[in-house]
Structure 1
Amino acid sequence: MSTKQSSLVRAPGMLARFLVFVGLVGAVIGSLGAPLITAVAEEYDVSLAASQWTLTIALLAGAVATPVLGRLGSGPRRRTVVLVILAVEVVGSLLTVILLPFAFLLVGRALQGSGIGLVVLMMAIARDHLDEQRAARTIALLSVASTAGIGIGYPLSGLLTDVAGVRAAYGLGLAITVAAFAAAVFALPQAPDRPSSRLDIRGAILLAIALPALLLVIGDTGLWRHHAGLAVAILVAALMLLIGWTFLEVRTESPLVDIKLLRHPAVAAANLVMLTGGVGMYLLFSLITRYVQTPAAAGYGFGLNTFQAGLVLVPFSLLGFVAGRMIPAWRDRLGARLLLAASTAVVLAAFVLFALARSHLVEPILAIGILGFGVGAFSAAMPVVILAVTPAAETASAMSVNAVVRSVGFSTGSALGGLILATHTTGVFPRESGYGAAAWIGAAATAATLLIIAVLPLKRA
């Protein structure tokens, strides 16, 4: 009997549902800070810039933790690692709810953010313990968990904040992390008996310095507008540290990330596509969410409050989830290249729609729904490319790198949108022409991603 056959679980449906639930928990936790920034500033009497850190610190913690968890979860201690991180999330969630100074809220959000990286371990568990067909479906859904989680976290946290205050919204995070930990105690299987590898501490520390620096400088629109020289210096320093980290990993016996796998043409191509595609996807997402919340007094926009803006994101999440469900059925017939190209074309259509028509609320809603379907399909197709050439034992590690690349792409897209709108701002709000310009620039970037997909060596799964 093969190792794969011997590790299959008796209740695969329940395990698959648990894995997707944990992925959704991480997505909701990661997005929880965004709708609460203003409410946190008022509740804790801090500036909006300080309050913004409740979102930023969680995302940074997730980006750093993901490759570390990917390596720790590749060995026989995976069940223990997952349970410990879920317990850490529970502690962090408790800190966000208890009446404590603002610094403790930031610590709690950082601890919550560390669990974002669990999604790659859920993919590894699916590949090890589910049959091939069910594993493909589960991994596809895990890939779109961040898309679906936004549509759950934004409106719920906005509603809870309006009704019962910011601590009630953070209470949502506590409830779902406790539920995830309790379910994990019963649902998590033991990892297959593989040799354990020593954690590359030097690589982890170097990455923990370089990656946050890179993400922070990319996403700080104000720094690029007012101190471009400093921004360039930090960017170059972060990139040099990442280059040094790469050389360190190549020469380390038990690296944090197996660079040899990343040099495979299909894996390298998939990560490049994820980077460029992520820029366009998050650019449009940020444009639409900002546009619908702009008060009509600016001459455009619809003045939606936090809860209403969250409801606008429901089509994004719903159609993204639908796309994730459909991708496994299309995989064998279309292949990875056509799947990625088709999903990128859908994103391009959403850009064009928003660029041409946004005077009625239904039009941005339609555009963000189309975007959600494209993002969901794109995200679900990405593991098809990477896992087709990746050994099962390296699933978590390989997908963790792709998750980090996606974070860099999303941060770049968000910052690019902010910079473009800033150049079209003379008063409080940007001129509406700025949204059109940003949409067409994003459409051009998405069209370039289509060209990259056409020429790069993507393996047919």
Structure 2
Amino acid sequence: MNSTHKPPLAETPAYAGTPVIVVLACTGMTVSLMQTLVVPLTPVLPQLFKTSAANASWVITATLLVAAVATPIMGRLGDLFGKKRMLMVCVGFLAASSVVCAVGDSLITAIIGRGIQGLGIAAIPLGISLLRDVVEPARLGPSVALISSSLGAGGALGLPIAAFIADNWGWSELFWFATAVSLVCAVSIAVVVPESPQRVKGSVDFAGVVGLAVLLVSLLLVISKGAAWGWISSRVGGLLALAAFTAVIWGRWELRVESPAVDLRSTARKPVLMTNLASVMTGFTMYAMNLLAPQMLMGPEATGFGAGRSILAAGLWMAPAGLIMVAMSQVAARLTQAYGAKMSLLLGIVIMCVGNVVVQFTLTTGSPWSVVAFASIVSVGVSFAYASMPTLIMANVPISETAAANGLNSLARSFGTSAASAVVGAVIGQMTVAIGGYPFVSTAGVRTALAICTVAGVIAALLTMAIPSRPDAVEGSGSGTGDGSRAEAGARG
């Protein structure tokens, strides 16, 4: 991942066509669908596995922890050994995780399966990085935007499909369906997608991988479990101390090793650093929709804002927002080409904040249409923001670091969402009302969560404004073909 490595070993072949772009976009949808599968079952996981809610939550946490570590590492391996090869490995992990979950009937099996699934989440940044190497310059921006928006389409389709299968069959059938989808995806990649000709000479930094794993797992355990364990508990304090100690040792090692797992010098470059920081806060901002829109649809009417819809109905009401994200991806690509990725990111963040503010005025109507409007506005913003982030990253890193850098940016967005989950969850957990003997978030709690995420959006906008308008002159950046304008043209804002 070091920018001092030798140039790519091979010349770029003929540019790939539409089928490659479609397959990579469908791969992104598959990854998003996998992440959505257990959402309809979350409330019943304790009953399903005959355990406590705290233990059942590890079914979600396992994927988060493994994905956080695996995403930048898989990107690094893609730069070293081939992006298509590692993309196939990721999809293989998705299929294997689904089989494990389908054949098992215990909590431990489910946690293991969902942990394996985390190894496959890197498929999206790998697919985006592969595009940089095989797609012609004129189609790179729209293609990146389409794959980035596939997250929304996968979620939009995944929630109602998962709810339908769960309602009519069960846990095992849900994951056999996921296995079939993963295998179709794997075959399509193998047949249609070419391998990137780009390689970087280097070796795997195993010590760096271990250090990164310890650092990220320590931090994410605090974020995801801090509220349950107690923020001032010895367990949380110990993990924070471990994270701080590891950060110092790991950072010194990564700066000294010839082929680091994460090139901290490239990561610290101002355009990359500010983009990743803005990505963290963007992930925080969009969490309002992810958390609150389903609660607005499924919450009882007695809450003052709930529409009282079933899980399946809620999934269908949310579907338009995901499809809008895909439709707007090409608008986002044109905006990026015309005014630069920085402007596209800034506009996307502003639109998300507008959505969070507008729903404050329609919250107490209890109408599912107000939720659709809320989710649709935010989805437009997410489409613009997610289309621009990879462009900003790729314009400011060497070609040898494309996959690893995109993986790190994906991690930044996920980290922001995880932080929002902890912060917003801790706040609204104290702002509940009892209905039918069960606690539900109150109207005041929803308004507070929206306000917190809107403030995060303002911070994200300020960080975006601090991104340099012109990309750094980085050796080997821009394109795998030597055409330095490929990624840079869209990044100028």
Distance 1:288 1:346, change over 3 A: same
Per the alignment, residue 293 of structure 1 pairs with 298
Shift of 1:270: 0.4
Distance 1:99 1:412, change over 3 A: closer
Per the alignment, residue 53 of structure 1 pairs with 58
The residue type equivalent to 2:127 in the other structure is M
Shift of 1:195: 4.0
The residue type equivalent to 1:171 in the other structure is W
The residue type equivalent to 1:421 in the other structure is I
The residue type equivalent to 2:331 in the other structure is M
Per the alignment, residue 414 of structure 1 pairs with 421
Per the alignment, residue 451 of structure 1 pairs with 462
Task: Say which of 371, 374, 396 aligns to 1:364.
Answer: 371
Per the alignment, residue 382 of structure 1 pairs with 389
Preserved contact between residue 37 and residue 162 of structure 2 (Cα < 8 Å): yes
The residue type equivalent to 1:248 in the other structure is W
Per the alignment, residue 25 of structure 1 pairs with 30
Whole-Å separation in 1 of the counterparts to 2:163 and 2:232: 34
Whole-Å separation in 1 of the counterparts to 2:20 and 2:327: 20
1:379-424 superposed Cα distances (whole Å, 9 cap, x missing partner): 1111121111222221101111111111110011122221221232
Task: Say which of 312, 318, 327 aligns to 1:322.
Answer: 327
Per the alignment, residue 134 of structure 1 pairs with 139
Preserved contact between residue 54 and residue 109 of structure 1 (Cα < 8 Å): yes
Shift of 1:232: 5.0
Preserved contact between residue 200 and residue 256 of structure 1 (Cα < 8 Å): yes
Whole-Å separation in 1 of the counterparts to 2:86 and 2:191: 15
Per the alignment, residue 425 of structure 1 pairs with 432
Preserved contact between residue 349 and residue 385 of structure 2 (Cα < 8 Å): yes
The residue type equivalent to 1:423 in the other structure is Q
Whole-Å separation in 1 of the counterparts to 2:321 and 2:370: 13
Classify the secondary structure of the residue corresponding to 2:307. Answer: coil
Shift of 1:236: 4.7
Whole-Å separation in 1 of the counterparts to 2:198 and 2:278: 34
Per the alignment, residue 79 of structure 2 pairs with 74
Segment drifting more, 240-249 vs 280-289: 240-249
Q: Structure 1 length normalisation: TM-score?
A: 0.93
Per the alignment, residue 162 of structure 1 pairs with 167
Aligned ranges 1:103-114 → 2 under 5 Å: 103-114=108-119
Segment drifting more, 33-42 vs 273-282: 33-42
Gaps of 5+ in 1: none
Segment drifting more, 308-317 vs 271-280: 308-317
Per the alignment, residue 87 of structure 1 pairs with 92
Shift of 1:185: 2.0
Per the alignment, residue 404 of structure 1 pairs with 411
Task: Say which of 254, 275, 279 aligns to 2:280.
Answer: 275
Whole-Å separation in 2 of the counterparts to 1:458 and 1:289: 38
Instruction: Please say if 1:234 is aligned against 2:215.
Output: no
Segment drifting more, 451-460 vs 200-209: 451-460
Shift of 1:204: 0.8
Classify the secondary structure of the residue corresponding to 1:116. Answer: coil
Classify the secondary structure of the residue corresponding to 2:184. Answer: helix
Segment drifting more, 184-193 vs 341-350: 184-193
Q: Structure 2 length normalisation: TM-score?
A: 0.87
Aligned length: 460
Whole-Å separation in 1 of the counterparts to 2:156 and 2:247: 33
The residue type equivalent to 1:354 in the other structure is V
1:124-164 superposed Cα distances (whole Å, 9 cap, x missing partner): 21111111122222222222332222112111101110111
Preserved contact between residue 63 and residue 117 of structure 1 (Cα < 8 Å): no
Classify the secondary structure of the residue corresponding to 1:255. Answer: coil
Aligned ranges 1:3-18 → 2 under 5 Å: 6-9=11-14, 11-18=16-23
Classify the secondary structure of the residue corresponding to 1:429. Answer: strand
Shift of 1:341: 1.5
Per the alignment, residue 42 of structure 1 pairs with 47
Segment drifting more, 29-38 vs 152-161: 29-38
Shift of 1:117: 0.6
Per the alignment, residue 146 of structure 1 pairs with 151
Distance 1:252 1:377, change over 3 A: same
Q: Give the alignment's Cα RMSD to 1 decimal.
A: 2.3
Segment drifting more, 115-124 vs 306-315: 306-315
1:80-139 superposed Cα distances (whole Å, 9 cap, x missing partner): 333333223222211111244332222222112211012121122111111112222222
Task: Say which of 271, 279, 302 aligns to 1:266.
Answer: 271
Whole-Å separation in 2 of the counterparts to 1:357 and 1:249: 50
Per the alignment, residue 313 of structure 2 pairs with 308
Distance 1:184 1:337, change over 3 A: closer
Classify the secondary structure of the residue corresponding to 2:468. Answer: coil
The residue type equivalent to 1:65 in the other structure is A
Classify the secondary structure of the residue corresponding to 1:74. Answer: helix
Per the alignment, residue 210 of structure 1 pairs with 215
Whole-Å separation in 2 of the counterparts to 1:189 and 1:357: 49
The residue type equivalent to 1:435 in the other structure is V
Shift of 1:43: 3.1
Preserved contact between residue 31 and residue 55 of structure 1 (Cα < 8 Å): no
